[in-house]
Amino acid sequence: MKNTAPAEKLPAPVHIGIIMDGNGRWAVNRGLVRTQGHLEGLKAAKRITKAASELGVKYITLYAFSTENWKRASEEVDFIMGLIKQYLRSEFDFSKRNHIRVRFTGNMEGLPVDIQKEITETIKQTAEFDGMQVVLAINYGGRDEIIRALKKFIQTAEKKHEDITENDIHRFLDNPDIPDPDLIIRSAGEYRTSNFLLWEGAYSEIYVSQKLWPDWEKSDLETAIENYQKRERRFGAETGNKASGF
Ligand code: FPP
């Protein structure tokens, strides 16, 4: 029999992933150079991190640089790397005040050595903070993460291939202790996941906003969360069945 009871509101999302898109368009629309859009995008990332922390979100993953973004002009790549470095340095005080722990996901070895050092240092300095966790996805690709996990699994050589389970892959992902994202937000109106959290996002709810990333405010995050809370998550089960698939 179909469940006819009014849908209950979902609890607030524990983990939100964000594809921060539209920095270039924001700049071009204003006759500015694309890098100016990234600068404003960084300001938006700070605003939304603060807002998420105030709203009680436990984990936020920010897609700052993908494994494919190296294809961009070298000036743009260098500028984004510089911004990431600046972000890591300048946000430490904010992290300390708000007990925010910084984490990393991505291919660390492919990053410039100075950025690797900044990331490692920030992770170390914030490791004991027990507030929200901000996961920076830098030189990140979902396919790359799965390949790296597989390589680590194969090195352990614990099992025959026919016995491999989901958990054998999951435990070698970059941050296996972090729950899968409940909600993935993409700004700037594109309906794509662009290689973001492919494994972890298997059952994430997707929210696409037309607003360009540099224009994002706390109210946009609140709207995204409210929209998410009206959804029904089924994890592959039939309509009306609240059971999780995991
Ligand atoms: C996508 O916009 C944005 C990026 C590839 C870079 C995002 C990076 C930042 C916001 C700065 C670093 C942030 C942190 C948190 C360390 P786009 O250039 O693809 O925009 P377009 O589609 O309009 O061209």
For residue 246, being part of any structural domain is answered with no
For residue 238, being part of any structural domain is answered with no
Neighbours of 118 (CB within 10 A): 18
For residue 124, being part of any structural domain is answered with yes
Mean pLDDT of 220-229: 98
Q: Rounded mean pLDDT of the chain?
A: 92
Helix spans in the chain (H): 23-29, 34-54, 74-90, 92-98, 113-126, 142-156, 166-170, 218-229
For residue 158, being part of any structural domain is answered with no
Mean pLDDT of 224-234: 94
Split into its structural domains, the chain has a count of 1
Structure confidence at residue 243 (pLDDT)? 45
* 19, 20, 66, 76, best to mutate for ligand 1 pocket (most atoms within 8 Å of CB): 20
Please enumerate, as own/partner, the contacts of 123-129 that have beta carbons within 8 Å and a separation of 24 or more.
Answer: 125/92, 126/92, 126/95, 126/96, 126/100, 126/101, 126/102, 127/101, 128/101, 129/95, 129/96, 129/99, 129/100, 129/101
Q: CB within 6 Å of ligand 1 — which residues?
A: 20-25, 38, 41-42, 45, 62, 64, 69, 80, 83-84, 87, 136, 188
Structure confidence at residue 240 (pLDDT)? 60
Structure confidence at residue 160 (pLDDT)? 72
For residue 172, being part of any structural domain is answered with no
CA distance 149 to 154: 9
Range of the domain at 19: 15-141+180-229
For residue 200, being part of any structural domain is answered with yes
Check which CATH number belongs to the domain holding 191 and give it. 3.40.1180.10
Q: 228 and 207 in contact (C-beta within 8 Å)? A: yes
For residue 75, being part of any structural domain is answered with yes
Structure confidence at residue 246 (pLDDT)? 40
Structure confidence at residue 244 (pLDDT)? 43
Mean pLDDT of 46-61: 96
Residues serving a catalytic function are 21, 69
